[in-house]
Chain A
Amino acid sequence: MNTVLESLFILGISHHKTPLDVRERLALTEAEATELQKQIYLGTGIRECVVLNTCNRIEIYALAEDLSELAVVRSRLCLMKGFPENAFAEYAYSYNNLQALQHIMEVSAGLDSQIIGETEILGQLKQAYTMALQANTTDKVLNRVFEKSFHAAKEARRKTWITRGQISIGNVSVDLAARIFGKLSDSRILLIGSGEIAEKTAQALKSRGVRDISVSSRTLQNACKLAGSLEGTAIHFDNFKNQLHHFDIIICSTAAPSLLLDKGCLLKAMKQRPDQPCFIIDLALPRDVDPSADSIENVYLYNLDDLSGIADKNLEARKADIENARRILKKHAWNLWLQLRRSELMRRV
């Protein structure tokens, strides 16, 4: 039986097969994406369509009168971007029927993303779907497909490890800080050095509510610049050791060839705040903080290896759970497929 559902298809390119320079050439602006969606919907035998446009993928979800419409959609995209069709075919992929449903669910759950389990893609899919809804280019089938996909993605995330556990140094640090302090809004941060990872870590902490950030660097100008971007204050490098006891989180990332903070220096600081914990993140190579400082009561010292070790283990846990997540999504895709078939049959009757 040749039902219209057999013409439900996805056409796209993604980071898996398409190099960055090609993705750059094919990248759509928001206006272009809207225009393409409109052209596809109005100009051809397409019943419903949604265009997803992110930095890692362009995908067109469509329900057509006939599967031959796929070639027409491909032509429209290539024409808009002035990209040769035969070259596009080299990078593009397409799915239809049940496979299309499975694909969209995997995309929603972040299984098809560059960073497995990332949640940004779900927001981008929701945004694309909202735009299509506003433009009236969707109807019963794609509406149900998208809504069920969001639901399936949520379940896969809830029941597996694919999104749990942070996989970047900054976010792992934020998680650890939360395990030490709970709410981070009252925590005071000292950034020693102006390394890039330290800056990102400070930004991650700031995004979780930290308001009080101080920066100290050998070059006061650098410290002032970084402090300005983090809405914090700069401290003179010769002076920061006397103020260590004021800070709850200390992030070190200098290029100093030897230890910057020894155990004695930290013991002295902790004597002034014996009942307050201190989280020290040593991101420098060679290390800035004496490793033996970890034995001081209430001091929690983590270096780059510790943080990346946690991030790696979280990533492993995510990867190990991909198959479980896929199984959940397949079940949802199959159920949705049966529902769509049933409603299509009912419609015909």
Chain B
Amino acid sequence: MFENFTLTDRSVFAIAAAMYGAGFFYGCRILRTDRPYSRTVMFSLLLGGFLMQTLGLNLRGTAVRACPLGNPFEIAQFLGWSLILLFLIIGPAFRLRFLGFFTAGLSTLLTAGAFLVPAWDYVYVSKTTGENAWIELHAALALFSYGIFGLLSLVSIMFLIQEQGLKKKQFKQIYQFLPSVQQLDLMAKRLLIGGLLLLSASLIFGAVFWVKDFERVPVFKLTATCLVWLGYLTIFTLRIRKKLINRRHAIASIGLFIFAMASLWPIQSLRSMKLPPTGAALTSQVPVAAPSR
């Protein structure tokens, strides 16, 4: 029965995206029908999606024999995976109501959206793992920090909604599900520090590679990443000095995340332009052995 069944990394990613989508639609349904929100349902859907995505990344990593961060499709999958991983850690620990709904929404956008542009999943030449160890660590840490900044922007959106609701004396629909403004503000601060530390570490590891091979690091990529880092460092400094707080802090965090995401695309475009055209079929579609009888 299973002999003709092959599970490719893309199909696993698709199942994960569907599960995140199911979580998002569950949240939408709760908002529409005004019924009680079950954390267990949301958590289970996201956990299921996360496990599938981990499997997908593992299959893709085996195929390319490296950390799968070589094209925009993989980056989108990795970012979605980081977001969900963070939610699975932060969600139960801090019990931030409805964070799962927002995380599911952004992860669906990233992971399912990546399927809508087939050109994103182009074939690339992967170097051997040993040679690329530093740069892979740099890339993985950088993208994981972007995941933290993604979650920070979601928390900021939740803060703005709750704050607006309180100012406008709104008390039903989404407002009743969201955590308090103080909880959200505190979480935003923690995420900002965590993300900044990780991005700083990523830049340090990247610098090791840069010092070794100055020519191979694109100037645009270096500038964009440094700008993102500088942006978050500025937000952090201003926040510590109580110059950029609450509403303005939330808006700045969302704006900078959009900039960070936007800067990823030209970086990848430049990278793909440098690669030789292959025209080959996707080598990353690795079939999984069907269970034998």
- Chain A residues in the interface with B (C-beta under 8 A): 158-159, 161, 165, 175-176, 178-182, 274-277, 294, 297-298, 300, 302, 306, 309-310, 313, 317
Contacts and interface: CB of A to CB of B under 8 A. Distances in A.
B283 interface: no
Interface string B159-191: 000100111010110010011111101000000
B242 interface: yes
A158 B36 contact: yes
A179 B180 CA distance: 4
B166 A179 contact: yes
Contact of A275 (B34, B36, B246): B246
B212 interface: no
A159 B247 CA distance: 35
A274 B167 contact: no
Given A158-B36, A161-B34, A294-B167, A178 B180 contact: yes
Contact of A182 (B34, B166, B180, B242): B180
Contact of B169 (A181, A275, A310): A310
Given A165-B171, A274-B242, A275-B185, 14 more contacts: A175-B171, A176-B166, A179-B162, A179-B166, A180-B180, A180-B181, A180-B182, A182-B183, A275-B242, A275-B245, A276-B182, A277-B181, A309-B169, A310-B171
Give the interface residue-count category, chain B: 20 to 34
B35 interface: yes
Residue of B36, B167, B178 most packed against chain A (CB within 10 A): B167
**Shortest 10 CB-CB contacts between residues of A and residues of B:** A182-B180, A182-B183, A275-B245, A300-B166, A274-B242, A181-B182, A306-B169, A179-B180, A310-B171, A275-B242
16 contacts: A158-B36, A176-B166, A176-B171, A179-B166, A179-B171, A179-B175, A179-B181, A181-B180, A181-B182, A274-B245, A275-B185, A275-B242, A298-B245, A306-B169, A309-B169, A317-B172
Contacts of B35: 159
Nearest to B36: A158
Given A175-B171, A277-B182, A297-B247, A180 B242 contact: no
A182 B179 contact: yes
Interface of B: 34-36, 162, 165-167, 169, 171-172, 175, 178-183, 185, 242, 245-247
Nearest to B166: A300
B38 to A, nearest CB: 11
Contacts of A161: 34
B135 to A, nearest CB: 39
Nearest to A310: B171
A274 B246 CA distance: 9
Contacts of B171: 165, 175-176, 179, 310, 313
A226 to B, nearest CB: 27
A182 B180 CA distance: 5
Nearest to A317: B172
Contacts of B180: 178-182
Contacts of B166: 176, 179-180, 300
A180 B172 CA distance: 15
Contacts of A275: 185, 242, 245-246
B179 A300 contact: no
Contact of A302 (B34, B169, B172): B169
Contacts of B182: 180-182, 276-277
A242 to B, nearest CB: 21
Contacts of A176: 166, 171
A274 B242 CA distance: 7
A175 B166 CA distance: 11
A191 B13 CA distance: 57
A317 B172 CA distance: 11
B160 to A, nearest CB: 13
A292 to B, nearest CB: 13
Contact of B246 (A158, A297, A309): A297
Contacts of A175: 171
Nearest to A309: B169
A260 to B, nearest CB: 22
B33 to A, nearest CB: 10
A274 B171 CA distance: 25
A298 B36 CA distance: 29
Contacts of B169: 302, 306, 309-310
B187 to A, nearest CB: 11
Nearest to A301: B167
A291 to B, nearest CB: 12
A294 B169 CA distance: 11
Contacts of B183: 182
Nearest to B189: A275
A208 to B, nearest CB: 13
Nearest to A275: B245
B159 to A, nearest CB: 11
B40 to A, nearest CB: 15
Contacts of A165: 171-172
A294 B182 CA distance: 18
A16 B172 CA distance: 31
B158 to A, nearest CB: 12
Nearest to B248: A297
Contacts of A274: 242, 245
B175 to A, nearest CB: 7
